[in-house]
Structure 1
Amino acid sequence: MAHVAIDIGASSGRLIIGEIRNGKLDMKEVHRFANGFSKKNGTYYWDINHLLTEIVKGLAETKKLGFTSVTAGIDTWAVDYVLIDEQGERLQEVVSYRDSRTEHTIEKISKLISKETIYEKTGIQFLSFNTLYQLYEEKKELLEQTKHILLVPDYLGYCLTGRAVTEATNASTMQLLNIQEQDFDKDLLHLLSLKREQFPPLVQPGEKLGPLLKDRFPEYDLPDCEFFVVGSHDTASAIAGTPGFGEGWGYLSSGTWSLLGIESAKPITTKLAYEDNYTNEWGVFNTYRFLKNIMGMWVIQEVRRHLPQDYNFSKFVEEAKKVKPYQQFINFNEDRFLNPANMVEEIQNYCRETKQPIPTTAGELAACVFSNLAIIYAIAIKDLEEITNKKIDRLHIVGGGSNNYLLNQMTADMSDIPIYAGPSEATAVGNLIMQIIAAGEVSNLAEGRKLIEQSFPMQTFHSNSLNREKLIQSFQSISNRLKLTLKESE
C-alpha cells in the first residue's frame, strides 16, 4: 500500500510517497512547492489557496506515477487558524503567527486571568503568537459570524474531504485545551467570547478522516485517496518519526523552529516548568511532548535572505568552519529576533549594544548563529534535566537541521552528550508511520520506530574537550546584562 505525506512548513511544502519494501520504509518526493507569508494592508497573511492547489497538483503527480489508490495525511506548522462561516466559506485570509498584532497580548490577558492559572489549566508555554492571543485580537464581528475555527491542516483536510475536525496534537498548541479535562477550557473560551461548538470535535492521530472528494477538483486526474488524521502539528509528526527507545533520550526537531524536549507519559506542570516556559504539547498515542521552543534555523534563513550574495545552507556551514566559533554571545530566543526587518542588522545591532565583535561576512554570521544555537541547546538540556529530574544521556536531532554537521558537533561539544543525527525527513516519516499503523502494516509506534531505525542511516557526534562552562557563563552574563539595561530604560 502506498501512503502520501503532505508536509507543509513555513517556507516550503512537499508530497512524499512512502511504501514498505524489503523491510524498509522507501520514500520518494513527488512534488515540492514554495510557501511563505506576505504583507497586505499592514498584516502578514498566508496564501491558503496556493497550498490547497499545490496539494491537489501533488496528488495528480502521484497518479501519473501509477499510484491509483493511496492514503494521505497532512501536517503543517501550528497555532494559525481559519474562520469558516455557516456556508463553509472562509471569512478572511489566514493571518501568520509572525504578524505583530499579538505583540502585547500576553500582558493584556494576564490582567484578566493570571499566567499561573493559564499554565495550570493548559500546560502550554507562553508564546506571543499562541492561538489564545491571536483570537483575543481577532475582529469580534468575524468571530460572531464564525461557525468553525479550524487550524490550518484541519482546514486543508476539510477542503479535501468535507469533514471538519480538530486534531488533538495541533489543538494543544493553541493554549486553549484543559490538560486535565482533555477538552477546550470553559474559562478561556469565555474570555474570548467563543462557544465550544465553534471548534469541531477533537480527534486523535490514526483516525480515518474520509475519502478525497475528487469531484471538487474536476480539472485534475486524481487517485482514489483515503485521508487519515496524523500528528498534524509538524512537531508531533517529527517526534513520531524519531527512532528513540527506552529511557534517557531527548529530541531536537531542527527546522525553522528548534523544539528540544522529551516524550513523556504524563504532563509536567511544576512551578519550575512554568518559570522556564516549557510546554506540554499533546503527542501521538496519548503521549506529551515536553519541550522548549527555540528560534532555530529561522535565524540563518533570514540571514541568507538579507545577504547580497545567495548562500545555500551547506555553503554557510563551509564558510562558518573557516571562522573561530564563540566570538559573540546572542540569545536568539529574544522577541527582537522573531521577525525583524533585517536579521543581519538585528544581529549586528545586538553586538553593538553589548560591545561585542560585529560579524559582517557570511562565515562570521553563520558561525555566530551556530555557536549560539549550540549554547542555547545545551542550556535547555540542563534545564530539562533539572525540571524532570531525569538524565538526558543522548539527543536525537531530526529534521532539516540534522544535516548541519558543524552545528551537530557544536551541540555535542556544548552539551557533552552523544548526538544522533537523522532522519532529516522526520516529519514526513512520522506522518507516514501514523498512516502505516492506521492501515495495519505495523502494530504500534515502537514497531514503527524500529522500521525507521532500519530504514535511515544516522550520524553520531561525540563531544570534544573545550571550556563549555565558561562559554555558557559568558552567554548568560551578556543576555542577563542586556535584559537589565532594557528594564532600566523602560
Structure 2
Amino acid sequence: MGVNPAPLAARCLYPRFSVAGSALHLAIDLGAGSGRAMLGRLDETGFFLKEVHRFQYPPSRVDGHLRWPSRRLLEGIEAGIRSAVHASAALGAPLETVGVDSWGVDYGLLDAEGGLLEEPIAYRDDRTAGEMEAVFAKVGREEIFRRTGIQFLVFNTIYQLHAHVRQGLPAGVRRLLMIPDLCHHHLCGSTSGEYTNASTTQLLDADRRAWDDELIGRLGLPREILPEIATPGRELGRLQPELQGRLGAPGLRVIAPATHDTGSAVAGTPLREGWAYVSSGTWSLVGVEIDRPLVNQNVARANFTNEGGAHGTLRFLKNVMGLWILESCRKEWAERGLAMDYARLLEAVAAVPPALPQPAEHDRGAPGEPGRDGAGAPPGPGSPRQGRSRLPRFALRFRPPNGRVADREGDRGSAHRGRREPERLPEPGHGRRGRPSGPRRARGGHRHRQPDRAGDRDRPGGQPGRRPCEGGREREATAVRAAGFTGLDPGGRAIPGDRGAVLMSELRIGVVGLGWVAGAHIDAFKAVKGARVTAVCSRRSWDLKALEAKYGLPLKAYTDYAAMLRDPEVDVVDICTPHPQHPEQAMAAARAGKHLVVEKPIALRHEDARAVRDAVRAAGVQACVCFECRFSAHFTLTRAMIDQGLLGELHYGEVDYYHGLGPWYGQFPWNVKKDMGGSSLLTAGCHALDGLLFFMGGQVEEVTAYETRSKNPTFAPFEYATTTTTLLKFADGRVGKVASVVDCLQPYYFHVHLVGSEGSLLDNRFTSTRLPGLKKDRWSTLETSLVDSGDVKDHPYVPQFQAFVDAVQAGRPMPRTDFETAYESHRVVFAADRSAREGRPVKLVELP
C-alpha cells in the first residue's frame, strides 16, 4: 500500500493513442451571440480548420423570462453537421466525430423521457436579482468560495437554480443539463454533464472535481437532477439513428470536448510555460493554467476563479469586459438606421485617433447605454469615434488582472480572440501591453480535444499535449504571483508578498494517544514535507528521552491534553486515541484553533459526529479524517479510470472488507465493548463503505443493513455483531453493497467490484469497450498494488498527510478526506447501523 499512485494514475488518465490520420472532426462552437460549425483535421502534417456553417439564436422574452430558443439552436447544429458532411465528402475524408462547446452557467431541464420541459432561461435574465444574498443567508460567501474556488457572478448556476427552486421547478423534472450537454443529449441521448462547464455552476467541489453534495443539500437544491460528471474527451455515444439518416452521417461519434468555450480555447492554445492568456468573446477572460485549485482570501478578494480545464488542468482566471459592449453598440446603431459590419466599423476606426478613457465596469446584464463614447454626450449614430473609444477601453480591462498575472518576472501573455470576425481587434491591447497576440480564432481549439479520444494526443507543430504533471510548478507559481504572493519556495509553498497572507513555514504536529496507530502516524509525518511532530500527549507518563529515542525526534511530552492545546507551538492536533474519546478531543482542539487529523471513526454516535462537524465549521480550521485508502495506489488508479470514462456510467458497485482481526482486536478491552468499539462498520468496515462512496459518487438516499456473527468461540467477547451487510440505494437510482466481516478466518481481503455501461473492474482487473485492442472474453490487469494489509504501518498515510499539509499551507480545502466528506460517509454508516438495529430501511434524511 505504500506505492506512489501518481505515475499509475497519470498512465490511466492520459493513455497514448495512435495518430488520428486523415479523419475530419466537427466542432460546434456556441456563443451568446451566434454559433458556428468548424470542420478540422489534426494529423502528422499539421492542422486544418474551416468554418462550414454559422447560425444565430437570439434570446427572447417568453413567459416573463429571457429564454434561449432551443429548437432554433438545435436546428443550427443539425445544419452545421449537414454542411460538414458535404464538405468532408468534397475533401475526400470521413467525418468521424462531433462535439459542442458553449458559454457556461445556463441549463435546461428534462423530464423522465428526455424531453425539454421549458426553454432554457438566459443568464442575462433578471430572476437572480437579490438571489446571492438569499444563498449567503444559508451558506456564507467565504465558505462557498473555499469549497468551490469559483468567482461570484450573479448569474452563476448556483443562484439561477436557487431562484428556480424558490419560484417553482416545472413538474416532472428528472435531469438538469448545461447547454452543451443538452445539445449532446439531442445528438446521441447522453445525460452526463461535462466537467469544465459543470465547474461554472459554483456547485462543484474544487478539489474532488465532483458535485459538492453538502453545499447542494444545505442550499435546498435537488441533488438528484444533477448529472454524472464526464471528463473532456469522453465518447458519449453515436449520433441517434434518426439523425444519422436525416443528416447523412452514419456512425458519427459524439465526443465531449472541454464544453466550456474558454476551456476549449485554452486547450487549443500553444501556451508556453509562464504565459498568461486572454480569451476574448462576448466576455473576455484573462488567466493562467494551474494543476491544483488556488483558494485563499487574496484570490477571493480579487474575484479570480478556478474553472475546470482540459488535460486535468484548472483555468485560474478573471472575467473582464468583453466584446458584447461593441456588439451592443452595433445593435443600437442599427436601430437608429445605420447597420455596420465589423469590417466596415474597423476600417473607419483605423482612421480615428485613439481615445483612452478609463475603463468602466458595466453591469453584467443589460449594457445600459453602450453607444455613448464615455466623453459626454453621445455622438452621431455609428460614429467611428465610439468604436475607437470602445476598443482601448476593452483592452484596458485586461490590465488590472493581467498586471497581477503577467507583469511579474517576465511572464508573457497570449491574447486570443473568440468568434468575432475582425482581425484588428486585439491591436489596442497589443500596443498597450507589449505582449504578443496569439493565433486567429483560437476557440476553434476545442477540436483539439476530440482527437484525444479519436486518436492524437499531440498538438500541431510537434508541441506535446499538456498534462497535469508537465510544467505544473511554473503555472502554479504564476498563479501564486497573481494572488499577491512573491512566488513558491523550494518546498512548493507560497512565499508571502506585499499582499500575501502570513503562512506558517512548517506545521507543528501534536499527537494525542501513543498506541500502534500513533506510531504509524508519527513515522508517516517524518516523510511529509512542511510538517514535523513536536509534541505527544498520553494519559500515561513516559520517559521523554525514551520517547525521543523511540521516534527519533525532539519532543514535548504532555499528560494534560488541555495543556497541549494551549501550546502556541502546536498547530495541528492528531487524534489517535480510542474511539469514544474522539468527539470531545476533536471539538476541544477546534475551539482552540488547532487544525485536526482524526482517526476514524470520528464518533460512535451520529449526534456526536454532527457536533464535531459543527465545531470544525465554527472554528474555521482544517480537518483530515483518516480514510487513507482513498490515497492508495489502487483507489487512486480506480478513480482515475472512472473519471476517464473507461467504465462508462456506473450503476452498481460493491466494496467489501474481510479481516480476521477478531482474535487480535479482542485483546484490547475497549474495542470489544458495544459502547466503545461501536460496530463492525465503525471499527473497521467503514473503510469499505467510504471506498464505495469514493468510487460511485452521488448522494445515498436509503440503506438497508443486516447483521450476524460467527459461532467460533474466538469471537465471543465482542458485544456487537461482527459481520454486517449493507445495501445502498443512491438518489439517482444506482445501487451498491458493502460487507464488513471482521470475524472471518482468512487472509485480509479488500474486495472491489464496479459495473458500468462501458466496462467493469474487479479488484485489479478490468474490461472496457473504450480501449481498443482489449480482449472481450478475459480480464486485463492493472499495474497497481492492492489494499491488502490491515497493518496500519502499510497504510498510505504519507500521501494523505502531505495533501493535508499542502492544503493547510495553501489555505484551500483538504482533498478526498476533508471533514465534510468524511461526515457524509459516517452518516451512511450510522444509517446502516440503525437499519440493522431496527430491522427496517433507513433514509439518510433521518440523519441530517
Tell me the TM-score range normalised by the shorter chain. 0.7 to 0.9
Corresponding residue number in structure 1 for 2:456: 441
1:405-441 Cα shifts (integer Å, max 9, x gaps): 3x533213333x32223222x222x221111222223
1:112-143 Cα shifts (integer Å, max 9, x gaps): 22211111111111111000000011155426
Partner AA of 1:137 in structure 2: A
Q: Which secondary structure state, in structure 1, belongs to the residue aligned with residue 263 of structure 2?
A: helix
Corresponding residue number in structure 2 for 1:483: none
1:71-99 Cα shifts (integer Å, max 9, x gaps): 11111111100111122221111100011
Corresponding residue number in structure 1 for 2:262: 235
Q: Distance in 1 between matches of 2:426 and 2:165?
A: 44
Q: Which secondary structure state, in structure 1, belongs to the residue aligned with residue 253 of structure 2?
A: strand
Q: Which secondary structure state, in structure 2, belongs to the residue aligned with residue 62 of structure 1?
A: helix
2:362 paired with 1:334: yes
Measured after TM superposition, the shift of residue 30 of structure 1 is: 2.0
2:391 paired with 1:370: yes
Q: Distance in 1 between matches of 2:83 and 2:352?
A: 44
Q: Distance in 1 between matches of 2:357 and 2:95?
A: 54
Contact 1:84 1:149 in 2 (8 A): yes
Q: Distance in 2 between matches of 1:40 and 1:198?
A: 24
Aligned pairs for 1:392-403 (under 5 A) are: 392-400=411-419, 403=422
Q: Distance in 2 between matches of 1:192 and 1:83?
A: 19
Contact 2:148 2:206 in 1 (8 A): yes
Contact 1:207 1:228 in 2 (8 A): yes
Deviates more, 1:53-62 or 1:318-327: 318-327
Corresponding residue number in structure 1 for 2:426: 408
Q: Distance in 1 between matches of 2:38 and 2:331?
A: 27
Measured after TM superposition, the shift of residue 212 of structure 1 is: 0.4
Aligned pairs for 1:44-193 (under 5 A) are: 44-65=66-87, 66=89, 69-139=95-165, 141-142=168-169, 145-193=172-220
Corresponding residue number in structure 2 for 1:463: none
Contact 2:406 2:412 in 1 (8 A): no
Q: Distance in 2 between matches of 1:383 and 1:338?
A: 26
Q: Kindly report the root-mean-square deviation, in angstroms, between the aligned alpha carbons of the 2 structures.
A: 2.5
Corresponding residue number in structure 1 for 2:29: 7
1:11-32 Cα shifts (integer Å, max 9, x gaps): 2112222123671111222222
From the superposition, tell whether residues 222 and 179 of structure 1 become closer, same or farther in structure 2 (CA, over 3 Å). same
Q: Which secondary structure state, in structure 2, belongs to the residue aligned with residue 138 of structure 1?
A: helix
Q: Distance in 2 between matches of 1:448 and 1:53?
A: 36
Corresponding residue number in structure 2 for 1:479: none
Match of 1:253 among 255, 279, 294: 279
Q: Distance in 2 between matches of 1:280 and 1:419?
A: 24
Q: Which secondary structure state, in structure 2, belongs to the residue aligned with residue 18 of structure 1?
A: strand
Q: Distance in 2 between matches of 1:30 and 1:449?
A: 28
From the superposition, tell whether residues 289 and 84 of structure 1 become closer, same or farther in structure 2 (CA, over 3 Å). same
Partner AA of 1:423 in structure 2: R
1:422-462 Cα shifts (integer Å, max 9, x gaps): 222x222x2211112222234479956789xxxxxxxxxxx
Q: Which secondary structure state, in structure 2, belongs to the residue aligned with residue 94 of structure 1?
A: coil
Corresponding residue number in structure 1 for 2:298: 272
2:342 paired with 1:313: yes
Q: Structure 2, unaligned stretches of length 5 or more?
A: 1-22, 467-848
Q: Which secondary structure state, in structure 1, belongs to the residue aligned with residue 449 of structure 2?
A: helix
Deviates more, 1:173-182 or 1:35-44: 35-44
Contact 1:78 1:233 in 2 (8 A): yes
From the superposition, tell whether residues 444 and 315 of structure 1 become closer, same or farther in structure 2 (CA, over 3 Å). closer
From the superposition, tell whether residues 357 and 341 of structure 1 become closer, same or farther in structure 2 (CA, over 3 Å). closer
Partner AA of 1:397 in structure 2: H
Q: Distance in 2 between matches of 1:447 and 1:91?
A: 47
Q: Distance in 2 between matches of 1:359 and 1:317?
A: 19
Q: Distance in 1 between matches of 2:163 and 2:271?
A: 40
Q: Distance in 1 between matches of 2:236 and 2:64?
A: 36
Contact 1:6 1:13 in 2 (8 A): yes
Q: Distance in 2 between matches of 1:137 and 1:43?
A: 12
Corresponding residue number in structure 2 for 1:462: none
Q: Distance in 2 between matches of 1:179 and 1:88?
A: 29
Contact 2:232 2:256 in 1 (8 A): yes
Measured after TM superposition, the shift of residue 195 of structure 1 is: 3.9
Match of 1:222 among 249, 258, 261: 249
Partner AA of 2:161 in structure 1: L
Contact 1:69 1:224 in 2 (8 A): no
Q: Could you tell me the TM-score, scaled by structure 2's length?
A: 0.49
Q: Distance in 2 between matches of 1:281 and 1:3?
A: 26
Measured after TM superposition, the shift of residue 265 of structure 1 is: 1.6
Measured after TM superposition, the shift of residue 35 of structure 1 is: 2.3
Q: Which secondary structure state, in structure 1, belongs to the residue aligned with residue 252 of structure 2?
A: strand
Contact 1:151 1:171 in 2 (8 A): yes
Partner AA of 1:13 in structure 2: G
Q: Which secondary structure state, in structure 1, belongs to the residue aligned with residue 455 of structure 2?
A: coil
Corresponding residue number in structure 1 for 2:553: none
Q: Which secondary structure state, in structure 2, belongs to the residue aligned with residue 44 of structure 1?
A: strand
Q: Distance in 1 between matches of 2:248 and 2:455?
A: 28
Partner AA of 1:30 in structure 2: V
From the superposition, tell whether residues 413 and 15 of structure 1 become closer, same or farther in structure 2 (CA, over 3 Å). closer
From the superposition, tell whether residues 157 and 7 of structure 1 become closer, same or farther in structure 2 (CA, over 3 Å). same
Match of 1:421 among 438, 446, 454: 438
Q: Which secondary structure state, in structure 1, belongs to the residue aligned with residue 315 of structure 2?
A: strand
Contact 1:381 1:392 in 2 (8 A): no
Q: Percent same amino acid at aligned positions?
A: 31
Contact 1:240 1:445 in 2 (8 A): no
Q: Which secondary structure state, in structure 2, belongs to the residue aligned with residue 181 of structure 1?
A: coil
Partner AA of 1:372 in structure 2: R
Deviates more, 1:93-102 or 1:48-57: 48-57
From the superposition, tell whether residues 143 and 39 of structure 1 become closer, same or farther in structure 2 (CA, over 3 Å). closer
From the superposition, tell whether residues 220 and 396 of structure 1 become closer, same or farther in structure 2 (CA, over 3 Å). closer
Q: Distance in 1 between matches of 2:194 and 2:409?
A: 30
Computing the radius of gyration from Cα coordinates, the structure with the larger value is 2
Q: Which secondary structure state, in structure 2, belongs to the residue aligned with residue 260 of structure 1?
A: strand
Partner AA of 2:412 in structure 1: D
Q: Could you tell me the TM-score, scaled by structure 1's length?
A: 0.82
Measured after TM superposition, the shift of residue 185 of structure 1 is: 1.3
Q: Distance in 2 between matches of 1:300 and 1:199?
A: 36
Q: Which secondary structure state, in structure 2, belongs to the residue aligned with residue 263 of structure 1?
A: strand
Q: Distance in 2 between matches of 1:390 and 1:225?
A: 47
Contact 2:342 2:421 in 1 (8 A): no
Partner AA of 1:300 in structure 2: L
Q: Distance in 2 between matches of 1:436 and 1:322?
A: 44
1:50-109 Cα shifts (integer Å, max 9, x gaps): 121222222223333426542111111111001111222211111000111112211222
Contact 1:260 1:377 in 2 (8 A): yes
Corresponding residue number in structure 1 for 2:59: 37
